[in-house]
Amino acid sequence: MSGTFDWTSIDAVDGSIMLGIGEGSGMVTEGNKLFEVDMAFETVCLVQVRNHAGGRDITADCEIAYPELDSKMFLLLERKAGDIANEGAKGDGTQTILGGTNKLKGITGQCSYTIKYLDASRNISKNNCSYSL
């Protein structure tokens, strides 16, 4: 998947908070009966980054639309390691599949992901998910 981000930040009592919206698109590269290879998807994420004395916490609520399925999937991303929004920044994290609509209604599962920033606003990522429906 590749995407772009728009960020804003404020100071906080114990550090800073950065909020952003990320939008991107991608294609399934390994699939099965439901998520077929070459199936396209579009993603929108609302991201919060908390920088504090103990480190950095990154969370994102994401909506992934699969036009071929006329369905959406909802995920919560969490990452506590790596940098963000800088050229060359990268990190690994986990995603929890919270549910979906239409053909994805009732979906649950977990994903692991790796993300790399090409610059402050562009990134590429790779996700590996297991799910039940």
DSSP 47-96: EEEEEETTEEEEEEEEEEEEGGGTEEEEEEEEE-SS--SSTT-EEEEEEE
Would you list the domain boundaries of the chain?
2-132
What pLDDT does residue 85 have? 67
Could you give the count of Cα atoms lying within 13 Å of 113 in the half-sphere of its Cβ? 24
**Over the stretch 45-69, which tens digit does the pLDDT of each residue have?**
999 999 888 888 889 999 999 999 9
What pLDDT does residue 19 have? 94
Entry pTM: 0.86
Higher pLDDT, 94 or 33: 94
Coil, strand, or helix at residue 45? strand
